């Protein structure tokens, strides 16, 4: 069989298939579609955090040059999918749904859109937006999670298998009785997404009941579903195009108010409307990593065996929509602890709804868990790596079943060697270079090796090229490139003769790109579709040449104009002849995970990150001097783009650890960090060389390719590695991120 | 952004006349701060007078000083051979500011006149006496970790964001100004004001006055200098605090010192008393620590910026250690 042959392209560091388009500007992003009659939308935001709009003066704006419409709750057309205002009081406070923009006079968070100005140029729309004047009946708001009145279990708690449900094995809170115990609270502040490309949409009603959206989204079909529902349209009447996405880390996994607003604006004006958020609006309208409080209690024996862990967390959500994430998932399965409890809670505050942000909840949870592991190692006077090895799990202690694969020990060893872990001293502050204290730290990450169902079509073109299509998106990891490599190896075809098209809702079915699942899911569908195409071609060729009938699919060879057979040059069928048959050279294949394997094994990717930091003794500045990120992510499809993902995730972790922090002035319920001068992300000078190591061992149970996923584990565990290194350098344990100089001086 | 008129000046006097006559007019040079403020509606000039074509970008010797034209670019000054040889402290401060792209646009005059980066000044829906007198100071009881520890008033606790100005105040520079009533000079230390009851006024410039150049006097402070900027990332961030220091050493004995702090007050903060403490002392960490203690006399923190009471003297000590070793 072909797939058992040595892969030629899978694993290689092939250049991105769309790299040339990206660096020359030919790649078209959602804000770059110029349609005839295009108009521009600008949103006006509320200046209060809670209350009602008592008056809206839009006269000046409506009369300003070039203005086509000013849409507010007073004149917005009825959106069929919007439900009547008012919540069911019998439901918990957090239950609800997406913000229904311009639907009522109620203000739920500061900067909630209260008006959309549509004009014939962006400048005119922006100018007129400033002329909209609103008055409010303010109500007392609460934007501080720690002062919120009630911490609620989530709706997800109703599903006992959910990572958000309360969990216990052995005795609950048994750590309290431990002689050697750590009990600490940790805080992750609100962190903002801010990919390079801001969220944008161009909405175009091609007919009264046909809608096309050029939209920044991580899921073309999820977006299609949301807006078909909102406008009560059959899904096939809504087309979503997201051919290129300029970075998305969870912020485009949800549908947001600006998308609804642009569609309404296009409806009102009868023109296509483009709406791109400003950098400032990216803080309030597209989700963020929620502010989260956590507490860990841990006990261990003197010889370094964990006896109990209790991990609690409270994350913020909005007052109108429940957001939850798997903050406590890693704690349940990472270490052998006979007594373990997790309790996940949320609290509704008067802010916009949060959303997953790379690593999502697991990255938040890992900061607490991996910090606590470090604290316990110090208490036991044990090397933190040795402490982790003594509590290593050879099978999943949560579900009591084997891992599909786990090569975390190999990662530990590779990382320790590369960072120079031997140089590390147990005693904090023992290493010094001039005015800089040096420290080493580690943090572990894990994320489910998720795989869903996907369809891929494959078609032989008369030119001998193969075209594959799937509705998946590429938010930056190089999906099109990886899929081309998989197809090339399966088809035995030069990658230059393969085109993989993605990013359109009309293409075969795929879920959103998120949760490190795309290669696991779509990659396998590409392999399956490629195999099916090869076999179909072989069978169809048999009609013209009997030799194909008895050949193995792997023996089929593509030449310039013919299909032929390996070692049998005489067997030839011209593409032109082949494609004359009805439905020739086309397959549509659906791939699904093996349900039995999913029941039998626990499937996770694993990572460990090692950091070397320097902390200035007088100024408290922290510099990450080296990062080593090691991953057990199954088969690596493209070593170059995979390493690129790991490095990007590591730099995101530097931001989490050292600088990212969105601050609200609770008196006004408004952010005071609303641009890149106040909200810091790492610059080049903050990012050291990141060394990446992949175990690169296939996982036979996730899929036939052996992949497990990379995107999330690249970030999960980085922040605690840095925080632990800061402790090793200074003896100061910072439990509230980010670790800014004021906390160390 | 509001609509505005745009005129391009070719002679300083013509530019000054326009702005002196029209209180809604403003000069624009690099525009790296003003354009941002206009986009947000914080500043709404009705008329912009573009001064980029005025012949004010030379860097040349004038008597006992180096004269730097107001339109000289930050990057040009930082890379100028005379600046680097005679006033390396200025070059260091400039290089610590903003980003390469911004330094290529921003001018010396504009750098001095940039407005505070206080978030309340930027958000039209929050109170700010500097932006809108009488509305109150949002930062006073708000989020004030970036704010002043010296010279603040109950009307305003904002800080001046410039790095370059911290070096210029330490170097005893003089600002050359042309106005409707002619030319005048003022010591750099008198250019910026403390907020008092009128925080809307950043400087002592009169309506229509245009900075044409800054003179940096010859001095012995060409070797033992350092600009220590403490910020939350390695580059491209405003200072939590910064320290500009210059020493004139005779062996290990300090003959004279110049010290200033940035990120601590409504103006670049010269530390004359601390300078005196150092004169005649050995250049040791103990001397530096004593000077830093004197420097901090009168400092007062708010809710979120108490760390500056420790960070500022530490930055001074670190800067002095580095300068002495240079």
Q: What is chain A's mean pLDDT, rounded? A: 95
ipTM surpasses 0.85: yes
Query: What average pLDDT score do residues B91-108 get?
Result: 97
Is A155-190+288-450+600-743 CATH 3.30.365.10?
yes
Please check the confidence at residue A322 and state whether its pLDDT lies above 80: yes
* Domain layout of chain B by residue ranges: 5-52, 224-325
CA distances from A176 to A308, A735, B228 (A): 9, 20, 47
pLDDT digits (tens, 9 = 90+) for A609-656: 999 999 999 999 999 999 999 999 999 999 999 999 999 999 999 999
Q: Is A628 helix (H, G, I), strand (E, B) or coil?
A: strand
Please check the confidence at residue A4 and state whether its pLDDT lies above 90: no
What is the radius of gyration, based on Cα positions, of chain B? 19
What is the radius of gyration, based on Cα positions, of chain A? 27
Q: Is A67 helix (H, G, I), strand (E, B) or coil?
A: strand
pLDDT at A161 (0 to 100): 84
| Catalytically annotated residue among A312, A590, A712, A736 | A712
Q: Is A31 helix (H, G, I), strand (E, B) or coil?
A: helix
Contact between B317 and A618 using a beta-carbon 8 Å cutoff: yes
**If residue B94 lies in a helix (H) or strand (E), which one and from where to where?**
helix B88-96
pLDDT at B85 (0 to 100): 97
pLDDT digits (tens, 9 = 90+) for A423-463: 999 999 999 999 999 999 999 999 999 999 999 999 999 99
pLDDT at A265 (0 to 100): 98
Q: Is B55 helix (H, G, I), strand (E, B) or coil?
A: coil
Q: Using CA atoms, how far apart are residues A392 and A335, in angstroms rounded to an integer?
A: 6
Please check the confidence at residue A2 and state whether its pLDDT lies above 70: no
pLDDT digits (tens, 9 = 90+) for A87-113: 566 666 566 799 999 999 999 999 999
pLDDT at A128 (0 to 100): 97
B250, exposed or middle or buried, with CB in 10 Å at 0-12, 13-18, 19+? exposed
Q: What is chain B's mean pLDDT, rounded? A: 97
Q: Is A554 helix (H, G, I), strand (E, B) or coil?
A: helix
Residue A516 near residue A709 (C-beta atoms within 8 A)? yes
Q: For residue B219, what pLDDT band results from cuts at 50, 70 and 90?
A: very high
Per the structure block, which two tokens stand in for B297?
């006399």
Q: How far apart are the first and last CA of chain B?
A: 48
Query: What average pLDDT score do residues A409-418 get?
Result: 98
**Residue A186 neighbours by CB distance under 10 Å:** 24
Residues linked to residue A623 through DSSP beta bridges, in sequence order: A614
* Domain layout of chain A by residue ranges: 34-140+196-248+252-283, 155-190+288-450+600-743, 452-592
- Tell me the shortest Cα–Cα distance from B94 to chain A, in angstroms: 17
Cβ pairs bridging A and B (under 8 Å)? 89
- Chosen for mutation from B121, B232, B241 (greatest number of chain A CBs closer than 10 Å) is B232
Hunting for tokens 């088969």 — which residue is that? A635
Reduced 3-state DSSP string for A476-518: CCCHHHHHHHHHHHHHCCCHHHEEEECCECCCCCCCCCCCCCH
Q: Using CA atoms, how far apart are residues B129 and B203, in angstroms rounded to an integer?
A: 15
CA distances from A224 to A228, A476, B34, B163 (A): 6, 21, 42, 50
Please check the confidence at residue A711 and state whether its pLDDT lies above 60: yes
Nearest-5° Cα angle at A134, A128 to A140? 140
| B309 and A CB contact within 8 Å | no
Q: Where are the beta strands (DSSP E) in A120-195?
A: 133-138, 167-169, 180-188, 191-192
Per the structure block, which two tokens stand in for A496?
């230059």
Contact between A663 and B143 using a beta-carbon 8 Å cutoff: yes
Contact between B141 and A673 using a beta-carbon 8 Å cutoff: no
**If residue A574 lies in a helix (H) or strand (E), which one and from where to where?**
strand A568-574
pLDDT at A291 (0 to 100): 97
Task: Report which DSSP code applies to B46.
Answer: S
Nearest-5° Cα angle at A248, A243 to A253? 90
CATH of the structural domain B5-52, one choice from 3.30.43.10, 3.30.70.360, 3.60.15.10, 3.40.640.10: 3.30.43.10
B134, exposed or middle or buried, with CB in 10 Å at 0-12, 13-18, 19+? exposed
Q: Using CA atoms, how far apart are residues A577 and A582, in angstroms rounded to an integer?
A: 11
The percentage of residues in chain A with a pLDDT greater than 70, rounded to a whole number, is 97
pLDDT digits (tens, 9 = 90+) for A565-596: 999 989 999 999 999 988 889 999 999 998 99
**If residue B49 lies in a helix (H) or strand (E), which one and from where to where?**
strand B47-50
Phi/psi of residue A408, nearest 5 degrees:
-70, -35
Q: Using CA atoms, how far apart are residues A162 and A159, in angstroms rounded to an integer?
A: 6
Per the structure block, which two tokens stand in for B80?
């100028």
Per the structure block, which two tokens stand in for A91?
């439901």
Contact between B125 and A130 using a beta-carbon 8 Å cutoff: no
Q: Using CA atoms, how far apart are residues A482 and A485, in angstroms rounded to an integer?
A: 5
- Tell me the shortest Cα–Cα distance from A739 to chain B, in angstroms: 9
Query: What average pLDDT score do residues B228-244 get?
Result: 97
pLDDT at A153 (0 to 100): 78
Contact between B117 and A126 using a beta-carbon 8 Å cutoff: no
Phi/psi of residue A461, nearest 5 degrees:
-95, 160
pLDDT at A1 (0 to 100): 38
- Tell me the shortest Cα–Cα distance from B296 to chain A, in angstroms: 16
Q: Using CA atoms, how far apart are residues A728 and A313, in angstroms rounded to an integer?
A: 26
pLDDT at A158 (0 to 100): 72
Contact between A435 and B318 using a beta-carbon 8 Å cutoff: yes
**Fold match between domain A34-140+196-248+252-283 and domain A452-592:** no
Please check the confidence at residue A3 and state whether its pLDDT lies above 50: no
Q: Using CA atoms, how far apart are residues A320 and A98, in angstroms rounded to an integer?
A: 7
pLDDT at A601 (0 to 100): 98
Residue A270 near residue A153 (C-beta atoms within 8 A)? no
CA distances from A86 to A100, A105, A150 (A): 12, 11, 21
Query: What average pLDDT score do residues B156-184 get?
Result: 98
* Class of the domain covering A452-592: alpha beta
Taking CA–CA distances from A659, the nearest residue in chain B reads B232
- The superfamily CATH assigns to domain B224-325 is CO dehydrogenase flavoprotein, C-terminal domain (3.30.390.50)
Query: What average pLDDT score do residues A122-145 get?
Result: 97
Query: What average pLDDT score do residues A163-191 get?
Result: 96
Residues of B within 8 A of A663 (CB-CB) are: 143
**Fold match between domain B5-52 and domain B224-325:** no
Indicate left, alpha or beta for A47 from its phi (over 0: left) and psi (-120 to 50: alpha): alpha
Q: For residue B296, what pLDDT band results from cuts at 50, 70 and 90?
A: very high
CA distances from B38 to A127, A367, B136 (A): 11, 41, 22
Taking CA–CA distances from A682, the nearest residue in chain B reads B233
Give the residue among A630, A721, A184 at the shortest CA–CA distance from A424: A721
Taking CA–CA distances from A675, the nearest residue in chain B reads B119
Q: Taking each helix axis from N to C terminus, what angle separates A360-379 and A639-658, rounded to the nearest 10 degrees?
A: 70
**If residue A541 lies in a helix (H) or strand (E), which one and from where to where?**
helix A524-542
Report the CATH number of the A34-140+196-248+252-283 domain. 3.90.1170.50
Residues of A within 8 A of B38 (CB-CB) are: none
Query: What average pLDDT score do residues A350-377 get?
Result: 98
Residues of chain A whose beta carbon is less than 8 angstroms from a beta carbon of chain B are: 47, 123, 126-127, 130, 435, 616, 618-621, 623, 658-659, 663, 665, 667-668, 670, 672-675, 677-678, 680, 682-686, 738, 740-743, 745
pLDDT at A88 (0 to 100): 62
User: Is A712 noted as a catalytic residue in this protein?
Assistant: yes
- Tell me the shortest Cα–Cα distance from A351 to chain B, in angstroms: 17
**Residue A90 neighbours by CB distance under 10 Å:** 6
Please check the confidence at residue A337 and state whether its pLDDT lies above 60: yes
| B1 and A CB contact within 8 Å | yes
Dmax (CA) of chain B:
61
Per the structure block, which two tokens stand in for B161?
């964001």
């Amino acid at each position: 069989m072909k797939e058992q042959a040595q892969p030629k392209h899978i694993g290689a560091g092939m250049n991105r298939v769309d790299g040339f388009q990206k660096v020359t500007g030919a790649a078209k992003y959602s804000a770059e579609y110029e349609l005839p009659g295009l108009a521009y939308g600008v949103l006006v935001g509320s200046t209060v955090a809670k209350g009602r709009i008592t008056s809206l003066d839009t006269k000046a704006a409506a009369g300003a040059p070039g203005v086509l419409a000013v849409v507010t709750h007073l004149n917005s057309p009825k959106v069929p999918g919007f439900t009547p205002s008012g919540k069911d009081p019998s439901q918990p406070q957090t239950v609800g749904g997406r913000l229904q923009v311009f639907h009522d006079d109620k203000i739920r968070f500061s900067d909630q859109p209260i008006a959309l100005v549509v004009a014939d140029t962006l400048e005119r729309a922006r100018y007129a937006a400033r002329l909209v004047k609103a008055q409010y009946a303010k109500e007392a708001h609460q934007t501080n999670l720690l002062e919120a009145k009630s911490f609620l279990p989530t709706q997800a708690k109703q599903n006992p298998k959910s990572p958000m449900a309360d969990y216990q094995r052995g005795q609950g809170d048994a750590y309290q009785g431990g002689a050697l115990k750590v009990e600490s609270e940790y805080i992750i502040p609100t962190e903002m997404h801010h990919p390079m490309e801001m969220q944008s949409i161009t909405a175009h009603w091609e007919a009264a009941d046909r809608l096309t959206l050029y939209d920044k989204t991580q899921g073309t079909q999820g977006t299609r579903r949301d807006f078909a529902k909102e406008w009560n349209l059959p899904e096939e009447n809504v087309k979503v195009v997201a051919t290129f996405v300029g970075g998305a880390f969870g912020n485009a996994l949800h549908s947001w108010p600006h998308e609804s607003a642009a569609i309404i604006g296009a409806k009102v004006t009868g023109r296509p409307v483009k709406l791109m958020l400003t950098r400032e609006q990216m803080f309030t309208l597209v989700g963020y990593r929620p502010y989260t409080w956590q507490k860990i209690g841990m006990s261990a024996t003197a010889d370094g065996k964990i006896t109990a862990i209790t991990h609690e967390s409270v994350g913020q959500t909005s007052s109108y929509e429940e957001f939850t994430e798997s903050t406590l998932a890693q704690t349940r399965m990472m270490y052998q602890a006979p007594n373990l409890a997790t309790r996940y809670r949320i609290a509704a505050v008067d802010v916009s709804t949060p959303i997953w942000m790379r690593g999502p909840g697991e990255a938040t949870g890992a900061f607490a868990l991996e910090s606590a592991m470090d604290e316990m190692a110090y208490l036991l006077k044990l090397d933190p790596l040795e402490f982790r090895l003594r509590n290593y799990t050879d099978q999943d202690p949560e579900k009591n079943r084997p891992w599909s694969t786990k090569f975390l020990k190999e990662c530990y060893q590779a990382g320790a060697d590369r960072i120079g872990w031997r140089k590390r001293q147990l005693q904090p502050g023992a290493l010094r270079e001039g005015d800089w204290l040096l420290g080493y730290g580690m943090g572990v990450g894990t994320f489910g090796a998720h795989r869903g169902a996907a369809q891929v079509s494959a078609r032989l073109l008369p030119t001998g090229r193969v075209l594959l299509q799937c509705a998946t998106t590429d938010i930056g990891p190089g999906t099109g490139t990886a899929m081309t490599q998989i197809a090339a190896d399966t088809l035995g075809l030069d990658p230059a003769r393969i085109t993989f098209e993605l990013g359109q809702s009309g293409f075969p079915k795929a879920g959103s790109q998120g949760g490190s699942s795309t290669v696991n899911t779509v990659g396998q569908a590409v392999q399956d579709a490629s195999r099916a195409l090869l076999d179909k071609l072989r069978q169809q060729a048999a009609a013209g040449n009997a030799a194909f009938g008895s050949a193995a699919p792997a023996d089929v060879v593509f030449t310039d104009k013919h299909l032929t057979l390996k070692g049998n040059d005489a067997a030839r069928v011209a593409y032109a002849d082949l494609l004359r048959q009805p439905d020739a050279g086309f397959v549509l294949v659906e791939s699904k995970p093996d349900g039995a394997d999913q029941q039998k094994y626990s499937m996770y990717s694993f990572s460990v990150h090692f950091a070397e930091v320097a902390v200035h003794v007088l100024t408290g500045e922290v510099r990450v001097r080296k990062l080593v990120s090691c991953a057990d992510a199954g088969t690596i499809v493209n070593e170059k783009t995979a390493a690129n993902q790991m490095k990007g995730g590591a730099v995101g972790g530097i931001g989490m650890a050292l600088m990212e922090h969105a601050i609200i002035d609770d008196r006004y319920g408004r952010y005071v960090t609303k641009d890149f001068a106040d909200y810091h992300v790492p610059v080049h000078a903050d990012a050291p060389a990141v060394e990446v190591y992949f175990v690169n061992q296939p996982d036979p149970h996730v899929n036939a390719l052996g992949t497990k996923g990379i995107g999330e584990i690249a970030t999960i565990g980085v922040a605690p590695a840095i925080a632990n290194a800061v402790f090793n350098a200074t003896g100061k344990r910072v439990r509230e991120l980010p670790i800014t100089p004021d906390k160390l001086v | 952004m509001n609509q505005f008129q745009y005129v391009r000046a070719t002679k300083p006097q013509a530019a000054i006349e326009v702005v002196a006559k029209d209180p809604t007019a403003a000069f624009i040079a690099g525009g790296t701060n003003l354009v941002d403020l206009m986009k947000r509606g914080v500043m709404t000039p009705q008329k912009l007078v573009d001064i980029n074509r005025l012949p004010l970008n030379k860097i040349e010797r004038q008597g006992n000083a180096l004269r730097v034209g107001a339109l000289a670019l930050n990057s040009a000054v930082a890379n100028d051979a005379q600046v680097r040889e005679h006033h390396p402290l200025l070059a260091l401060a400039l290089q610590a500011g903003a980003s390469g792209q911004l330094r290529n646009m921003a001018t010396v005059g504009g750098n001095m006149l940039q407005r505070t980066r206080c978030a309340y000044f930027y958000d039209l829906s929050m109170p700010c006496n500097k932006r809108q007198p009488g509305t109150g100071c949002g930062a006073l009881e708000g989020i004030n970790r970036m704010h002043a520890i010296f010279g603040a008033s109950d009307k305003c606790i904002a800080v001046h964001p410039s790095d370059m100005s911290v070096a210029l105040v330490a170097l005893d520079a003089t600002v050359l100004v042309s106005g409707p009533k002619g030319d005048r000079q003022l010591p750099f230390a008198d250019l910026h004001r403390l907020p008092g009851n009128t925080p809307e006024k950043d400087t002592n410039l009169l309506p229509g006055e245009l900075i044409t150049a800054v003179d940096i006097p010859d001095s012995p402070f060409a070797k033992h200098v350092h600009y220590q900027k403490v910020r939350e990332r390695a580059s491209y961030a405003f200072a939590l605090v910064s320290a500009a220091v210059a020493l004139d050493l005779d062996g290990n004995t300090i003959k004279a010192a110049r010290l200033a702090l940035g990120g601590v007050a409504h103006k670049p903060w010269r530390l004359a008393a601390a300078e005196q403490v150092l004169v005649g002392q050995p250049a040791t960490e103990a001397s530096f620590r004593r000077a830093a203690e004197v420097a901090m006399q009168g400092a007062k923190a708010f809710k979120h910026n108490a760390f500056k009471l420790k960070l500022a003297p530490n930055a001074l000590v670190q800067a002095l250690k580095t300068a002495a070793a240079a």
